[in-house]
């Protein structure tokens, strides 16, 4: 199992408490792994291995550059609930779980760019609930198509949490499935996350590097998917999404588009 110890785990510095100022939250869309038994993140996605939502640590945006805008707004506005939505296999979009955010910390790209890592004080994931099957009071808010994220009001936030809290907790099953996919990836490629040059799991022992040293993390799209590292000089790093860490020299915030 993943180690939970380490000085970089909340509530230790540099983590700060995030106060719930509104009672409201967000819906956040993620890509699920098509070979997974539970709708976990797309661990095995070629050239774009996903680290979020990172259920192993209960974090969002600690290891990845996903959802800059959501994370920045959550901190600025004091919205502490994130509800996760995905399409698994051939199914329509479904609600899978939530984070109740308790802490935030400045991450690699810096607070000025809204790169805050978020850490949950509580999380719960369940068997997926199709958005079309939600009660009409929240279905009309959640079901209409949106791309990456959608703010939701206090009433919808409370209703969605109640719906999830009434279901059996499958969080441990989700985490076990993530580890199964990591083993599968390692068997096939020699790495758990080949895009990252990573051969182990994500755990709290890795957090300090992502929180301690600021760098110029690229924010935006890079259609070519080729990167160069300004630290080690390597020019053939391939990833569809920006990475906070160079997969070769492991320096933070050093990758720029070719």
Element (H, E) at 157: helix 154-165
- In angstroms, the Cα distances linking 168 to 40, 41, 54, 125, 235 are 17, 20, 20, 9, 48
**Nearest-angstrom CA–CA distance, 219 and 232:** 20
pLDDT band at 5 (very low <50, low <70, confident <90, very high): very low
Intervals of CATH 3.10.590 along the chain: 16-184
- What's the mean per-residue pLDDT of the chain? 92
Q: Look at residue 236 and tell me whether its pLDDT is greater than 70.
A: yes
Write out the two tokens for 237: 């790093």
pLDDT tens digits for range 91-126: 799 999 999 999 999 998 888 888 899 999 999 999
pLDDT at position 2, please? Answer: 35
Intervals of CATH 2.20.28 along the chain: 215-258
**Nearest-angstrom CA–CA distance, 215 and 114:** 13
Q: Look at residue 223 and tell me whether its pLDDT is greater than 90.
A: no
- Percent of the residues in the chain that have a pLDDT greater than 70, as a whole number: 98
The residue to which tokens 């983590």 are assigned: 15
Write out the two tokens for 49: 């291995």
Specify the pTM: 0.93
Candidates 3.10.450, 3.10.590, 3.30.70, 3.30.300; CATH matching 16-184: 3.10.590
Q: Which of 188, 198, 176 is nearest to 2 (CA)?
A: 176
pLDDT band at 163 (very low <50, low <70, confident <90, very high): very high
Q: Quick one: average pLDDT of 135-145?
A: 94
* Fold classification of 215-258 (topology level): Rubrerythrin, domain 2 (2.20.28)
């Amino acid at each position: 199992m993943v180690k939970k110890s380490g000085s970089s785990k909340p509530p230790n510095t540099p983590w700060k408490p995030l106060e719930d100022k509104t009672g409201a939250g967000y819906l956040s869309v993620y890509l699920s792994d098509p070979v997974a038994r539970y709708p976990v993140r797309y661990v095995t996605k070629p050239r774009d291995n996903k680290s979020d939502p990172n259920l192993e640590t209960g974090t969002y945006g600690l290891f990845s550059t996903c959802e800059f805008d959501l994370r920045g707004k959550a901190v600025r506005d004091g919205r502490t609930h994130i509800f996760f939505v995905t399409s698994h296999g051939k199914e329509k979009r479904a609600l899978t779980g939530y984070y109740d955010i308790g802490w935030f910390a400045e991450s690699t790209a810096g607070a000025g760019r809204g790169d805050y890592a978020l850490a949950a004080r509580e999380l719960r994931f369940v068997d997926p609930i199709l958005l079309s099957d939600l009660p009409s009071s929240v279905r009309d808010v959640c079901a209409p198509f949106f791309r990456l994220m959608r703010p939701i009001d206090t009433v919808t936030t409370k209703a969605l949490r109640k719906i999830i809290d009434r279901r059996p907790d499958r969080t441990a099953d989700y985490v076990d499935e993530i580890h199964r996919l990591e083993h599968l990836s390692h068997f096939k490629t020699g790495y758990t996350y080949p895009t990252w040059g990573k051969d182990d799991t994500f755990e709290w022992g890795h957090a300090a590097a992502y929180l301690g040293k600021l760098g110029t993390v690229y924010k935006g799209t890079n259609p070519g998917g080729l990167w160069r590292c300004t630290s080690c000089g390597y020019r053939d790093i391939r990833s569809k999404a920006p990475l906070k860490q160079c997969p070769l020299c492991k320096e933070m915030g050093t990758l720029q588009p070719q």
